[in-house]
Amino acid sequence: MDPILFQDPFLGKEGVFQFTMNHLEQALLFRCPDDFNLGLNAVAIGAYKYHVTVLAYSLMDNHLHLLLKGSYSSCRSFYHWLVRRLRRMLSLRYGVSGLLREDAYDVSAITDQDMFLNEVAYILRNPYKARIASPLSYIWSSADVYFNPLRDFVRGEALSGMKQERFRALMQTHETLPGEWEQVNCRILNRCFVDYKTVENRFGNSTVYYDRIRKYDLESLVQMSHGLAQQLRFTDQEMQEKILSVCRNEYHVDSYHQLDQKSLLLLAKTLSRRFSCPKKQIGRLLGLSDSLLDQLL
């Protein structure tokens, strides 16, 4: 949702919020590993500075995604600080100005369990969607800390052991950070600042986590939760592909003709809720009458 129109459902109390920077259409935000390092460290530093909890994040070359816990005012202040820091990076390193605006982002409040799981998976799937890397091998996201038995075996250099000049040069900050935090290859380790335990508790187990990451049509689900349902309109052919996907992945059949009446009606509800499919299109594709759909939907 446009941040100007956003209404905080938590009324100033702690909540969970998704922030997505608008894509830069004609330029890159992160151009090299050093840029990504600065961005990753800035997420950690800013969250600590503004008392915001990072639940998940992904840095892409022309935008970024954040899932944050805290009051909306704190999360928004953190995001604006992060944009200013990245804007300064672009100016100092590349002489570029005017690309980043503090109000050019989408924000959504995460108000239920299913929405939470979808948001985490959606954020981590971004590199896969962009055909850059698998969700779990992309190093510029928080993916490496969830359900990872090797997470605590990675040893880095403690920030407390660094000389002040080196610390400032590496982290590009005068902020005082927790001495027990560690860095590897100029990146603060995710386990130091990402609240992976909360995410793991919300998923319950690794099977649910990995299934959600692999889930078909996740982008459509998340777009709808962001209030973009009116923009999602599918042709009959596109919707037939989605029907086939739902049938195979959720009902384990190859056609809706193999569903019993109850499952067929549940499928109709799914098409309406998940893809904003109009009743007339559902009736046309599933052979259901208008009167039945009026009662059902």
pLDDT in tens, 257-282: 999 999 999 999 888 877 778 888 88
Backbone angles phi, psi at 188, to 5 degrees: -65, 130
Q: Please write the tens of the pLDDT for every residue from 48-82.
A: 999 999 999 999 998 999 999 999 999 999 999 99
Is 70 exceeded by the pLDDT of residue 230?
no
Mean pLDDT, rounded, of the chain: 88
Q: How confident is the model at residue 228 (pLDDT cuts 50, 70, 90)?
A: very low
Segment 8-17 shows an average pLDDT of 95
Q: At what angle do helices 279-286 and 236-246 cross, to 10 degrees?
A: 70
User: Which pLDDT score, from 0 to 100, does residue 220 have?
Assistant: 58
Q: What is the pTM of this model?
A: 0.74
Report DSSP letters for 124-169, one per residue.
Answer: HHHHHHTTSS-TTT-TTBSGGGTT-TTGGG---EEGGGS-HHHHHH
Single out the residue of 189, 188, 186, 181 nearest to residue 169, CA to CA. Answer: 186
Per-residue model confidence as pLDDT tens digits over 143-200: 999 999 999 888 899 999 999 999 998 898 988 999 999 999 999 999 999 999 999 9
Q: At 239, is the pLDDT very low, low, confident or very high (cuts 50, 70, 90)?
A: confident
**231: pLDDT strictly greater than 50:** no
Report whether pLDDT(297) > 80.
no
Q: Flag whether pLDDT at 27 surpasses 80.
A: yes
CATH architecture of 15-213: 2-Layer Sandwich (3.30)
Q: Sorting pLDDT into bands at 50, 70 and 90, what band is 219?
A: low
Q: What's the CA gap between 124 and 144, in Å, rounded?
A: 10
pLDDT tens digit sequence for 90-145? 999 999 988 898 888 899 999 999 999 999 999 998 887 666 667 777 899 999 99
Tokens of 3: 């941040």
Give the span between the Cα atoms of 200 and 145, in whole angstroms.
Answer: 10
Structural domain boundaries in the chain: 15-213, 233-296
